[in-house]
Amino acid sequence: MPTYIALVTFTDQGIRHIKQTTERAKGLVEAASRMGVQVKDIYWTMGPFDAIFTAEAPDDETMSTLAFSLGSLGNVRTQTLRAFSADEMNKMLGRLPKVDVIAQK
């Protein structure tokens, strides 16, 4: 299954209710599971993002639906990145044309 990294920022509502953030995270894991998404890790962070989570989902549409659902609750906003493993990257790199072929055109 494809892997995703979600970058999370708290909304004003989310920060007002910060004491419930770990409970909300449990709810995220449960809701994701019902959608066929497996949340692998959740971390609260310092810096431009308040938290991140990694997940595996069947496809982009399912992961987007989870992000929409999460955002609709009003506590967080997300930016979701599709992540590629070394094996996936090697497959893509193997499909690149040889540089000398491009240079000749």
Confidence band (pLDDT; 50, 70, 90) for 98? confident
Confidence (pTM): 0.88
At the topology level, CATH places domain 3-104 in Alpha-Beta Plaits (3.30.70)
Q: Exposed, middle or buried: residue 7 (CB in 10 Å: 0-12, 13-18, 19+)?
A: middle
- Compute the mean pLDDT over every residue in the chain, rounded to the nearest whole number: 95
Tokens encoding 88: 């996936």
- 47-69 per-position pLDDT tens digit: 999 999 999 999 999 999 999 99
- Domain ranges for the chain: 3-104
pLDDT of residue 104: 61
Confidence band (pLDDT; 50, 70, 90) for 99? confident
End-to-end CA distance of the chain: 37
